Amino acid sequence: MSRIGKQPVELPQGVTAALKEGQLVVKGPKGEVKQHVPAGVTLAVEGRTARLSAADDLGRRQKAYHGLARALLAGMVKGVTEGYERKLQIQGVGYSFRLVEGAVGFKGVFSFDRPFPLPPVVKAELSDKDTVLTLRSADKIVLGRFSADLRRLAAADRYKGKGVRFLGEQITLKARKGAK
């Protein structure tokens, strides 16, 4: 059995956890999060404590998912109570983010309008100058994947640093070719 998987997860007031049809479902004040759990992993909720256990007849590979399932459960509980947040920054002359009907767009980056649809569980908010985009969600996995996809669409240039990056991320600029 996994050492991490054996540890219980505390459920704060107003948070419920259940295992339904191979899906771990956690509900709380910030919403509901679902995650697939491998077969053989079961959930037991006692009061304000949730404990995952793995069947004894599982193979070594399957038992490795026991600790993963516990870590996912802890992340889901944090998501539905506190929520997760990612901030993206865009740099460049005339570059900015735009929010248009449930989609994020870029101004000045492409020669054409290219809106990128927001997942239903992700909320977006712009700063005053439209250069910092704040993304919030209860689902850490969806938020991380969406923010990485946005960053990849207009990744920061290695020579001038123009483009999208995570707030506070340092881009190492390449040296330009010098004169002989």
CATH of 3-81, one of 3.90.930.12, 3.20.20.70, 3.50.50.60, 3.40.50.12780: 3.90.930.12
- CA nearest to 118, candidates 139, 94, 89, 90: 139
pLDDT 10s digits, 44-95? 899 899 998 888 877 777 778 888 889 999 999 999 999 999 999 998 888 8
Domain boundaries in the chain? 3-81, 84-166
As assigned by CATH, the class of the 84-166 domain is alpha beta
CA distance 75 to 89: 25
